[in-house]
Amino acid sequence: METTKTIWAMAGAISPGAGRTLRAALGGVLLVAAGLKAYDLVSAPAAASPVGSRLLAAALVEGEALLGLWLLSGFARRGAWRAALVAFALFACVSLYRGLSGAESCGCFGGVRVSPWWTFVGDLAAVFALWWWWPRRDLADALVPAAEAPEVVRERHAWRMVPAALAAVSLNLTVVWAIAMLAPARLTDAGDIPADAKSVVLEPNGWVGKRLPLLTHTDIGSQLSVGQWTVLLYHHDCPKCQEVLANYESDEGLADLGRARQVALVEVPPFDDTLIADSGAPLGFARGLLSADKEWFVATPVVIDVDDGTVVRVSSEL
């Protein structure tokens, strides 16, 4: 039995740099993957994420980043090795599932599309490498009682750093939660918004030739889906918006629009409740409101020409 332990220790001591190289490589991959997913989380609609929820996606980013840093640090390396082995085994299962389900990308690297079959092979290779180069005590340490082994002493004292590590993890989770929940989401071409997103960025210039994505987010969407419309997005407290509104209500403004095209005035929240209660739409206009459930980010006034629900032209009146 002792001979077997000695041979096993010698096997680990033959190439002591292999374990360090593997830790560095896997730690780097995890940090790159976490960075790409974090960028995608902030800049792309979370609805497109394989995990759906922004909070869950943020937690995955945090977990990968912390594991990558743990591997690179060399702190409590046996614990890091076990965590990495479990993580890459789970990654392999997820990649296999996505490959069998016909997904085009594994989603491991955010917006960078990588076939799940390639990541499945890579994850399996990582699992095998982690098992093969499992961290062992150096040969000299393996031949002395465990209580006298320097590495055992170092790892025992390392546990004193656990409270500080837990505090760092808690702080990082708070930061990532704030990024995930407070960063504005983008409205997709289909009009989808993540259910847990509190604020939404509108980019009308990208809607030309597509169905107006606001149809499901305004109370006059059914009207705008039929016929020719000129839609004005405005804020009630925007001076330039008020100028444009006054021009549209004038005879000259209506003549410029053409009588064949109907006009819809769609107010972006927050609303002026007094004006909404006191007045309806001017004669010849339709009045609409964007949903007050979200905070909308858009530079107003914006004029959108819509034919049967499809955007044909977008112009800014700034």
The predicted model gives 195-213 an average pLDDT of: 84
pLDDT tens-digit profile of 143-192?
Answer: 444 444 454 445 555 555 555 555 566 666 666 665 555 566 777 777 88
Q: Are residues 42 and 135 in the same domain?
A: yes
With respect to residue 147, please indicate whether it lies within any of the assigned structural domains.
yes
Q: Which residues pair with 200 in a beta bridge?
A: 185, 296
Which among 241, 237, 298, 240 has a CA at the least distance from the CA of 265?
A: 241
Q: Is the pLDDT of residue 141 over 90?
A: no
Question: Angle, nearest 10°, between helix axes 116-132 and 77-100?
Answer: 150
What is the C-alpha to C-alpha distance for residues 249 and 260, in angstroms, rounded to an integer? 16
Q: In the predicted model, what is the mean pLDDT of the chain? A: 74
CA angle 133, 135, 139 (to 5 degrees): 105
- At 290, is the secondary structure helix, strand, or coil? strand
The reply to whether 77 and 142 lie within a common domain is: yes
In this structure, the answer to whether residues 116 and 212 fall within a common structural domain is no
Show the domain range for 69.
2-183
The answer to whether residues 135 and 223 belong to one domain is no
User: Given this model, what pLDDT does residue 13 score?
Assistant: 46
In this structure, the answer to whether residues 155 and 44 fall within a common structural domain is: yes
Does the pLDDT of residue 92 top 60, yes or no? yes
Residue 269 sits in the same domain as residue 205: yes
| Between residues 221 and 250, the one the model is more confident about | 221
Bridge partners, 267 (sequence order): 234, 289
pLDDT at 201 over 50: yes
Cis peptide before 50 (omega within 30 of 0): no
Judge if 245 and 284 occupy the same domain.
yes
| Residue 26 located in a structural domain | yes
Based on the domain organization, do 148 and 211 belong to the same domain? no
Amino acid at 28: G
230 and 310 within one domain: yes
The model's pLDDT over 63-77, given as tens digits with 9 standing for 90+, comes to 888 888 888 877 777
Domain count, the chain: 2
User: Do 175 and 234 have their domain in common?
Assistant: no
Mean pLDDT across 286-298 = 86
| Residue 9 within any structural domain of the chain | yes
Three-state SS at 49: coil
If asked whether residues 29 and 119 sit together in one domain, one would say yes
Model pTM score: 0.49
